[in-house]
């Protein structure tokens, strides 16, 4: 049977970054991924990196491309009642900013770095099953082309996303906190130059919309829709008409249109599993928590988790001390719940809720009006949006 120090399940941003940080500290790991390499690289998801994520990429030697190609944004717009209002995040946070750089680009950079180390990264494995983590002999069993394999390890890192196997392996000892939202996002990627250099979050009476981008030539746009919206009912012309209706403002600003390269519907959920550590099984990223994407926190929380986890594992291997591993869950949950609160707040402030009353909508508009006219309120938004430094 093969042996490693840390068995990592999942080659999303959390698993790949954890493997990379462990490698830099001389700690061996095996990464197992159920999907194929191309699938993992092509998966279009998040695109807003907190300063802490960019600092982590740069500090660990995988930041060249994000620094070269990422787009630093110092503000965002909130649009309502036909007007756009800029929140100057950098001025309000003493110089912090976000960077627009696709999650798939982060994943591509991390896969390249992993391959260069020669440490194992297995795609298209099957039947991954964590074992023995309640005692001192954890192991990962899995199959490759139907053949059974096993890797013995000291710890198992469950970085296998919301639908993975690691969280459920911890069984009934996890406590789950959950909220599903009665709406989702219809997202498109379009071959169109962004018509605004910064993101625009719009609360429109027809529903929420978000203007975003991935590069100087590609725009990323979202529309609030039903959680089970049928894409077949959304030909390109209807998508553009709805986006224009919800995003255009009285000063004539509107998104540029172009060929739609990709479209999809995502449901919205808030979810936390506590604790994040179960004996020698450690959960990180979406395996432990999900946030609605309005606050742009999912990818960044995953990065904060693995940054803390890598330090805790390094301390264990250097000194034999379990102290940081013992603290891993409590410290992570503190950051997670703050991100949950912020993501819930952004979501409820900006979306139209089915069955809401006219009172509810007027209250939302009043909240937005207060927000853009109060330096204190804008500072609160900006601090949360750019994120606090990673521990
Ligand atoms: C459809 C979608 C759209 C999103 N859009 C946005 C967005 O617009 N903005 C935003 O901020 N956030 C968005 N998010 C959230 C963000 O992408 C996640 O928070 C982020 O991917 C978390 O990284 P992760 O590594 O923890 O999990 P994941 O990226 O989910 O990675 C987990 C990996 O584990 C693999 N895996 C699963 N099960 C197994 C198994 N049994 N064995 C081995 N491997 C397994 C998966 O294939 C995957 O590669 C989106 C998420 C989804 C699902």
Which atom of ligand 1 sits closest to the CA of residue 220? Answer: 8
Ligand 1, atom 48: closest residue by C-alpha: 12
Q: What percent of the chain has pLDDT over 90?
A: 97
Ligand 1, atom 1: closest residue by C-alpha: 266
Ligand 1 pocket, residues with Cβ under 6 angstroms: 9-15, 32-35, 40, 45-46, 48, 103, 128, 159-161, 163-165, 266, 285-286, 293, 296, 298-299, 302
Tell me the per-residue pLDDT of 6-25, one tens digit each, with 9 for 90 and over: 999 999 999 999 999 999 99
Q: Give 314's contacts (C-beta < 8 A, 6+ positions apart).
A: 22, 25, 27
Which atom of ligand 1 sits closest to the CA of residue 287? Answer: 26
C-alpha to C-alpha distances, 295 to 1, 11, 26, nearest whole angstrom: 44, 24, 35
- Cα(159)–Cα(7) distance, integer angstroms: 10
Q: Give 16's contacts (C-beta < 8 A, 6+ positions apart).
A: 31, 107, 110, 111, 114, 121
Tell me the per-residue pLDDT of 89-133, one tens digit each, with 9 for 90 and over: 999 999 999 999 999 999 999 999 999 999 999 999 999 999 999
Ligand 1, atom 12: closest residue by C-alpha: 46
With residue 370 as reference, give the H or E element that holds it.
helix 358-373
CA-based diameter of the chain, in Å?
67
Give DSSP secondary structure letters for 159-205: ---TT-SHHHHTGGGSEEEEEEEEEEEEEEEEES--SSSS-EEEEET
Which atom of ligand 1 sits closest to the CA of residue 142? Answer: 42
What is the average pLDDT value for the chain, to the nearest integer?
A: 97
Which atom of ligand 1 sits closest to the CA of residue 302? Answer: 26
> Which sign does the torsion angle of CA 150, 12, 191, 189 carry?
positive
Pick from 322, 315, 341, 334: which is nearest to 390 by CA?
A: 334
pLDDT at 1: 73
Q: How many residues does this entry show for the chain?
A: 391
pLDDT at 28 > cutoff 90: yes
**In the predicted model, what is the mean pLDDT of residues 348-356?**
96
pLDDT at 187: 97
Q: What percent of the chain has pLDDT over 70?
A: 100
C-alpha to C-alpha distances, 343 to 61, 64, 81, 348, nearest whole angstrom: 30, 29, 22, 9
Pocket test for ligand 1, best of 7, 8, 9, 12 (most atoms within 8 A of CB): 12
Tell me the per-residue pLDDT of 177-200, one tens digit each, with 9 for 90 and over: 999 999 999 999 999 999 999 999
Give DSSP secondary structure letters for 274-308: E-SEETTEEE-GGGTEE--GGG--HHHHHHHHHHH
pLDDT at 250: 97
Q: Is 373 exposed, middle or buried (0-12, 13-18, 19+ CB in 10 A)?
A: exposed
Q: Band the pLDDT of 44: cuts 50, 70, 90.
A: confident
Residues annotated catalytic, as ranges: 73, 201, 293, 297, 385
Tell me the per-residue pLDDT of 327-345, one tens digit each, with 9 for 90 and over: 999 999 999 999 999 999 9
With residue 117 as reference, give the H or E element that holds it.
helix 103-117
A 10 A CB-CB count for 183 gives 20
Q: What is the pTM of this model?
A: 0.96
Ligand 1, atom 52: closest residue by C-alpha: 45
pLDDT at 173: 82
Pick from 179, 163, 189, 103: which is nearest to 347 by CA?
A: 179
Interval between CA 14 and ligand 1 midpoint (Å): 9
For residue 256, the 8-state DSSP code is P
């Amino acid at each position: 049977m093969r042996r490693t120090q840390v068995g990592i399940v999942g080659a999303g941003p959390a698993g790949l970054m954890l493997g990379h940080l462990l490698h830099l500290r001389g700690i061996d790991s095996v990464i197992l991924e159920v999907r194929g390499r191309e699938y993992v690289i092509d998966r279009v998801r998040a695109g807003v990196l907190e300063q802490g994520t960019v600092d982590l990429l740069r500090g660990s030697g995988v930041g060249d491309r994000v620094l070269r190609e990422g787009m630093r944004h110092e503000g965002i717009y909130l649009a309502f009642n036909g007007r756009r209002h800029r929140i100057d995040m950098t001025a309000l946070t003493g110089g912090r900013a976000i960077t627009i750089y696709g999650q798939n680009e982060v994943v591509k950079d991390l896969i390249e770095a992993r391959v260069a180390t020669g440490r194992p990264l297995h795609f298209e494995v099957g039947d991954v099953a964590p074992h023995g983590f309640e005692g001192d002999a954890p192991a990962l069993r899995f199959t490759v082309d139907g053949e059974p394999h096993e890797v013995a390890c000291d710890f198992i890192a469950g970085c296998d996303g919301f639908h993975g196997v690691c969280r459920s392996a911890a069984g009934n000892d996890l406590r789950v906190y959950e909220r599903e939202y009665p709406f989702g996002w219809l997202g498109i990627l379009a071959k169109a130059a962004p018509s605004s250099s910064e993101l625009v979050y719009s609360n429109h009476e027809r529903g929420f919309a978000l203007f975003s981008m991935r590069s100087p030539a590609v725009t990323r746009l979202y529309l609030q829709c039903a959680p089970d919206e049928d894409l077949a009912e959304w030909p390109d012309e209807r998508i553009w008409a709805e986006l224009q209706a919800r995003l255009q403002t009285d000063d004539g600003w509107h998104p540029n249109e172009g060929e739609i390269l990709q479209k999809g519907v995502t449901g919205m959920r808030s979810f936390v599993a506590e604790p994040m550590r179960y004996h020698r099984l450690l959960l990180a990223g979406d395996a432990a928590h999900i946030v609605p994407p309005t606050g742009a926190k999912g990818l960044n929380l995953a990065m904060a988790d693995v940054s803390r986890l890598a330090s805790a594992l390094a301390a264990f291997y250097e000194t034999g001390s379990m102290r940081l591993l013992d603290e891993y869950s409590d410290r992570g949950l503190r950051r997670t719940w703050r991100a949950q609160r912020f993501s819930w707040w952004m979501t409820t402030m900006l979306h139209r809720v089915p069955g809401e009353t006219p009172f509810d909508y007027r209250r939302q508009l009043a909240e937005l009006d207060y927000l853009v006219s109060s330096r204190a309120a804008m500072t609160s938004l900006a601090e949360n949006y750019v994120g606090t430094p990673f521990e």
